[in-house]
Chains A and B, each alone.
Chain A
Amino acid sequence: MSAKNNETSPNLGVEVAGLRLKNPVMPASGTFGYGAEYAPFFDLNRLGAIVTKGLSLKPKAGNPTPRIAETEGGMLNAIGLQNVGVDAFVAEKLPLLGSLSTPVIANFFGNSLEEYGEVAARLSDIPEIAACELNISCPNVKKGGIVFGTDPKAAAEVVSLVRSKLSKPLIVKLTPNVTDIALMARAVEEAGADALCCINTLTGMAIDIRSRKPRLANVTGGLSGPAIRPVAVRMVYQASSAVNIPVIGVGGIMTAEDVVEFLIAGATAVQVGTANFIDPCAMIEIIEGLESFCRAEGIDDIRELIGSLRI
């Protein structure tokens, strides 16, 4: 370690879709509520950004229970995009989020192409929102979500529409449940996305062998947690190699070392999901861990890790 590194903190700042983030760490949508749930545990401004639970035009009930099931090294969920809807979000959740200095990214989805456009138009007018993350990848709802995320033409169509309605940076969250992630990444880039987010959960299933019933009421669900990390790292590598826009890596990150792996694979920033459920302060430990890693490795600027894979 050089003397210089002992004196100055390494720079953890990155830039994604025109947003300057003080560090590359943000929560994955749906694992951090609307921020308030975690405010008792740490100063939310320490995060690189905050990503909200997915929003729709009208409130959404979500799926019947059981909605979650633990599996080896992961968990299945089929929450079904339960959310308060845009109006209640603005009235009840935005005051806290708007008071933060860290950028707020609103994740959203629609039940139809038109609704995707309407939500985008609504969010576009809200000054407290720094950027939007378009969900075309939820595996747990019949309409919307993954239907748009598995066909490059349908994905391009929804991204173009949203792009035309939204005057903010647009991040598109992709599903891993496709044959060729690079094809999807390119289609979404060409349609106007400013960044990609890879990956949403992998479709999975678990069965109670005594009752012979599925462990989720929805039968199938989305697998998250450390079990999916190698898949996510592979897809971040493939997607970031295929496009010129930044990629946000997500999938099973538990530690700072996991983040470094994603950065090397090509991610510019990362999202932490399941780890928030296990430890409400997981992201803070990760941010501190990144700083320690950079110091120990003599890295002055974390950006030098991005896409630094040696093959």
Chain B
Amino acid sequence: MNEQTVKNLKTVVLSNQEVSPGYFRMRILAPGYPGSAKPGHFVMLRVQRSLHPLLRRPFGIFQTGTLPPDCEGQPPKEYLEILYKVVGRGTNLLKDLHQGDRIEVLGPLGRGFSPLLEGREQILVGGGIGLVPLYMLARELVKTTKVRLYMGGRSREDILCVTEFERLGVETYVSTDDGSLGEQGFVTQALERRLDLGSEASLYACGPMPMLDAVQKICAQRCVPLQVSLEALMACGVGACLGCVVKGIGHSEETPRYLCSCKAGPVFDARELAWQKMDKENDYCEGCAS
């Protein structure tokens, strides 16, 4: 499951644009990524070789792709894209990068989604910036089946890239806390209504921990399989620092079962995790970057 070849690329930014107030989309030259990065994988970015910030920052891969070469005879340009919210020092530096600026990319990292098809309805649930890892998954899933996306956020500005999902043929349902876009309320309300129609479904979710916990409960009650992508503070991204651990099922002080979000995750089958014992407030780090 961690068979991908992990590399530390010293590369350059291709573009970096604000897509909604406070949210940016960055394209980075990344040879090999269209072949090796799978839905749910992430990268550790190093913006500059500085003392502050010192550590890399984890970012989910939004998508990968290939551009024609700049001039004839050169190989095509393979790239990856991230989508991020400006929340702290790391992302503040990131937002100021321009085309041609240097950046270091460690990845692709982690365990991605393992789609469960079997004629099931494929449902994606994204909260805010948690939408990021779902796009590549949607791109995979639409090849064989119908896909629905339930997208939630505080306000219309937190609802990103919905049209891109629609362009893939994904049916999208939007909820906002303030009702400024789509239905007013939590994304879980719309989701419950859908599931109660009774068809068999597979769910894939990413977003703030309270949302994931609510989705997990909804799925557990209805015996619906769920995969969640978690965000956590991490220093290394390769399973060494043990900073990003979450409690696995069966965890206790005597029989510790900590799982590294970076290595065993970031995507987990919801049944692998000890939800009751989760540090719900603490494990979530908005936008994967501080």
Residues of A at under 8 Å CB distance from B?
Answer: 30-33, 37-38, 40-41, 59-62, 64-70, 72-75, 77, 79, 82, 217, 225-227, 274, 276-281
Q: Is A278 within 8 A of B245, CB to CB?
A: no
Q: Is A72 within 8 A of B51, CB to CB?
A: yes
Q: Is B52 within 8 A of A276, CB to CB?
A: no
Minimum CB–CB distance for B127 against chain A, Å: 20
- CB contacts (< 8 Å) of B52 on chain A: these are 72-73
Bound state CA distance, A77 and B241, in angstroms? 9
Give the contacting residue for B54; candidates A64, A82, A226; CB below 8 A.
A226
- CB contacts (< 8 Å) of A72 on chain B: these are 51-52
- CB contacts (< 8 Å) of A62 on chain B: these are 242, 245, 256, 258
- CB contacts (< 8 Å) of A41 on chain B: these are 6, 8
Give the contacting residue for A61; candidates B8, B234, B236, B256; CB below 8 A.
B256
Most buried by A among B51, B236, B251, B282: B236
Most buried by B among A59, A65, A68: A65
* With known contacts A31-B241, A40-B6, A79-B243, A70–B53 Cβ distance under 8 A: yes
Q: Is A38 within 8 A of B238, CB to CB?
A: yes
- CB contacts (< 8 Å) of A75 on chain B: these are 54-55, 235
Write out, one digit per residue, whether chain B residues 107-139 have a CB within 8 A of any chain A CB (1) or not (0).
000000000000000000000000000000000
Q: Is A225 within 8 A of B54, CB to CB?
A: yes
Q: Is A65 within 8 A of B282, CB to CB?
A: yes
Minimum CB–CB distance for B256 against chain A, Å: 3
Minimum CB–CB distance for B192 against chain A, Å: 29
- State whether the Cβ of B270 lies closer than 8 Å to any Cβ in chain A: no
Write out, one digit per residue, whether chain B residues 256-290 have a CB within 8 A of any chain A CB (1) or not (0).
10100001000000000000000100110000001
Bound state CA distance, A41 and B234, in angstroms? 19
Write out, one digit per residue, whether chain B residues 233-249 have a CB within 8 A of any chain A CB (1) or not (0).
11110111111111000
Most buried by A among B53, B234, B235, B253: B235
Bound state CA distance, A77 and B256, in angstroms? 19
Q: Is B282 within 8 A of A37, CB to CB?
A: no
Q: Is A278 within 8 A of B55, CB to CB?
A: yes
Q: Is B54 within 8 A of A278, CB to CB?
A: yes
Q: Is A66 within 8 A of B245, CB to CB?
A: no
* With known contacts A59-B256, A75-B235, A280–B106 Cβ distance under 8 A: yes
Chain A residue at smallest Cβ distance from B246: A65
Give the contacting residue for A276; candidates B5, B234, B240, B243; CB below 8 A.
B240
Q: Is B245 within 8 A of A65, CB to CB?
A: yes
* With known contacts A66-B233, A70-B54, A277–B46 Cβ distance under 8 A: no
Most buried by A among B233, B243, B244, B252: B243
- State whether the Cβ of B232 lies closer than 8 Å to any Cβ in chain A: yes
- CB contacts (< 8 Å) of A70 on chain B: these are 53-55, 235, 290
Bound state CA distance, A200 and B13, in angstroms? 38
Bound state CA distance, A290 and B6, in angstroms? 26
Bound state CA distance, A151 and B93, in angstroms? 45
Give the contacting residue for A38; candidates B51, B240, B282; CB below 8 A.
B240
* With known contacts A61-B253, A82-B258, A217-B282, A68–B241 Cβ distance under 8 A: yes
- CB contacts (< 8 Å) of B234 on chain A: these are 68
Q: Is B8 within 8 A of A280, CB to CB?
A: yes
- CB contacts (< 8 Å) of B256 on chain A: these are 59-62, 82
Most buried by A among B55, B242, B244, B253: B242
**Can you list the 10 inter-chain pairs with the closest CB atoms, starting with the nearest?**
A61-B256, A68-B243, A73-B51, A277-B236, A277-B235, A33-B240, A37-B240, A37-B239, A72-B52, A67-B243
- CB contacts (< 8 Å) of A278 on chain B: these are 46, 54-56, 235
Q: Is B242 within 8 A of A31, CB to CB?
A: no
Bound state CA distance, A65 and B6, in angstroms? 26
Q: Is B240 within 8 A of A32, CB to CB?
A: yes
- CB contacts (< 8 Å) of B239 on chain A: these are 33, 37
Minimum CB–CB distance for B57 against chain A, Å: 10
Bound state CA distance, A3 and B241, in angstroms? 44
- CB contacts (< 8 Å) of B282 on chain A: these are 64-66, 217
Give the residues from 43 to 81 in chain B that come closer than 8 angstroms, CB to CB, to chain A: 46, 51-56
Most buried by A among B6, B232, B238, B251: B238
* With known contacts A31-B240, A62-B245, A67-B245, A277–B55 Cβ distance under 8 A: yes
Bound state CA distance, A60 and B253, in angstroms? 8
Bound state CA distance, A66 and B232, in angstroms? 9
Give the contacting residue for B242; candidates A67, A74, A217; CB below 8 A.
A67
Minimum CB–CB distance for A47 against chain B, Å: 14
In the complex, besides A61-B251, A68-B243, 7 extra interface pairs with C-beta distance below 8 angstroms are: A65-B282, A67-B245, A70-B55, A79-B242, A278-B56, A278-B235, A279-B8
